[in-house]
Amino acid sequence: MERIDVSILGRDYSLACLPSEKEALLAAVRHVDQRMLAVKGSGKVSSNERIAVMAAIQIAGELLTMRAPDGPLSNVALGDFKRKIEGMHEMLDQVAGLKTSGPT
């Protein structure tokens, strides 16, 4: 593991990661810092905790509306895909419950 020091919203943090993950982690830190600075700059939120929560919600929203670049799932948002998979799991659980609780 490699230790890296970063700054988010003016506060310093020490993080550990594998050397192969360092660039992705630094990019994530930059993204979070930029998003938090934008929330803070809006002037509507003042505490760092609320700024972090608002930034996290915005980033989660980005993630859930992200689409696959190409291929058969390119027209499905990640959040929709996740909900469809959860629905399939629920149906499978219901079917499995019927099979195990049926008459013997």
The 10 Å Cβ neighbour count of residue 55 is 23
- The pair of three-digit structure tokens given for residue 65, joined into one six-digit string: 């509306």
Distance CA 78, CA 6 (A): 29
> Is residue 96's pLDDT more than 90?
no
- What are the tens digits of pLDDT across the range 21-57? 999 999 999 999 999 999 999 988 889 999 999 999 9
Q: Can you give the pTM of this predicted structure?
A: 0.64
- Domain of residue 93: give its range: 2-101
Q: How many domains does the chain have?
A: 1
The arithmetic mean of pLDDT across residues 79-96, rounded, is 79
- Check: CB of residue 77 under 8 Å from CB of residue 68: no
H or E segment and range at residue 6: strand 2-8
Is the dihedral angle over the CA atoms 21, 22, 28, 29 positive or is it negative?
A: positive
The counts of H helices and E strands in the chain are 3, 2
